[in-house]
Amino acid sequence: MTDLNIYNEDIINLQEKALCVGLNITSTNKRTDNISIDESMEELKELVRAAGAEVVGELIQNRSSIDTATYLGSGKIEEIKNYAEGLNATMVVFNDELSGAQIKNIENIVGKKIIDRTMIILDIFAQRARSKEGKLQVELAQLRYRLPRLYGMGGQMSRTGAGIGTRGPGEQKLEKDKRHILNRAAVIRRELKEVAKNRDIQRVQRQKNDVPIVALVGYTNAGKSTILNEIIKSHPDYESEKEVFVKDMLFATLDVTLRKALLPNKKEILVVDTVGFVSKLPHDLINAFKSTLEEVRYADLILHVIDATNDNSDIQKLTTESVLKDLGVEDKKTITVYNKIDKLDLDIYPKNQEDLVYVSAKKNVNMDKLMNQIQDMLMEDMYKVNLLIPFNRGDVFSSIKDKYVIDSFEYTNEGIDLIVSLNEMDYNIYKEYIKEV
């Protein structure tokens, strides 16, 4: 069988130099998002740097619509050719997803490697994915991206291991026979189903243990991983080795991680860190990671983390909310967490509210308030009761003690008198023991 392994570890000995190119659509009815071209281009440059390349220049064209053949006008493509040569750029990166025909046409004129925004994001994911599931999901997204472009990408598909944008399933082989892509994609889907089955088993076990799950979501580089690392320090089993990787860059971590933490009332919770979002996140990538993001569906509470220092925080908030809506969890309990307030003047952000908190995870500012708000939100659906359990029902007391943090208890002549907060299901199970006042 043809080898379509994408996990070749490419090392860029000579850092690639990228010219970033964007299109500013001036016709308002053809705009696809609210982010400005300048903001979008800044994000593209950050993505390029995250992929390991040096940004040497930027060029933007204002047009009322996209040119179907070359994305930009033919005159602008010629300008790009001359500009790229003058900058000694090794590749040109476009701020939107291009068709195979557009890539081929532009490459024929410019004579350099042509990369689009989707290829850059896929490349970053290919570099960063560590778990088996993450690697399979990235490979599937790459295959879906490349399949319709096999006969349009020209020289781009004939390069193997040539740096950014080429990390992926052996391009020459893909060009020879697209059946190999379809076969490999089928194999990956079967493997992902097996991984999903194992995750479902683990999830059922967690649900049996009735441990609340708190999911961190948000834009990439908002500080989700830093918040997770700070929260898990509350657990008695905490070890520094359990912390997740943190770096000030887009998509520093990709794989979903689950860690234990302890609320102020000593109730144990599980905290889930998920992959971050960006504007124009490739559709295939959203589909590929949907099974992983579905962990959010089973969370009892969502922490929507936002970078308080980012000028585009409102737009980033909408981007994340859009993905959550796609997952069908837009109505789930949510605390909005504005992070990185240590970089702001302390008098310019509002006071904390019931479902809104301002923190600096890095400086441990207001993290105690966040933990209290998490506790309050999770306890909203709990019933605080005074139970009197007969001595001959020690099994009931044992079950409650194993599952909940008991506020207080004492042995009386009538039985075990305790105060505890129960979820609705257990409230109905144990309501016969509720002590009458």
155 marked ligand binding residue: no
Residue 256 CA, chain-centre distance (Å), reads: 8
Determine phi and psi for 34, rounding to 5 degrees. -95, -5
122 marked ligand binding residue: no
270 marked ligand binding residue: no
Distance CA 70, CA 386 (A): 72
Sign of the C-alpha dihedral computed for residues 144, 150, 151 and 157 taken in this order:
positive
Give the closest residue to 72 by CA, choosing from 25, 120, 36, 119: 25
141 marked ligand binding residue: no
364 marked ligand binding residue: no
**Is the separation of the CB atoms in 348 and 377 below 8 Å?**
no
412 marked ligand binding residue: no
273 marked ligand binding residue: yes
Distance CA 354, CA 300 (A): 16
263 marked ligand binding residue: no
The SS3 assignment for 11 reads coil
Give the closest residue to 174 by CA, choosing from 217, 203, 145, 196: 145
| Beta-bridge partner residues of 132 | none
Residues 6+ apart with CB under 8 A from 283: none
219 marked ligand binding residue: yes
Strands (E) across 47-87 are located at 54-63
Residue type, 122: L
339 marked ligand binding residue: yes
266 marked ligand binding residue: no
254 marked ligand binding residue: yes
355 marked ligand binding residue: no
245 marked ligand binding residue: no
Distance CA 108, CA 115 (A): 13
Distance CA 250, CA 42 (A): 12
52 marked ligand binding residue: no
The SS3 assignment for 14 reads coil
CA-to-CA dists, residue 208 to 201, 202, 204, 211, angstroms: 11, 10, 6, 8
**Is the separation of the CB atoms in 219 and 320 below 8 Å?**
yes
361 marked ligand binding residue: yes
Terminal Cα distance for the chain, rounded? 74
Binding-site annotation: residue ranges for Mg(2+): 225, 253
Binding-site annotation: residue ranges for GTP: 218-225, 251-255, 273-276, 339-342, 360-362
Binding-site annotation: residue ranges: 218-225, 251-255, 273-276, 339-342, 360-362
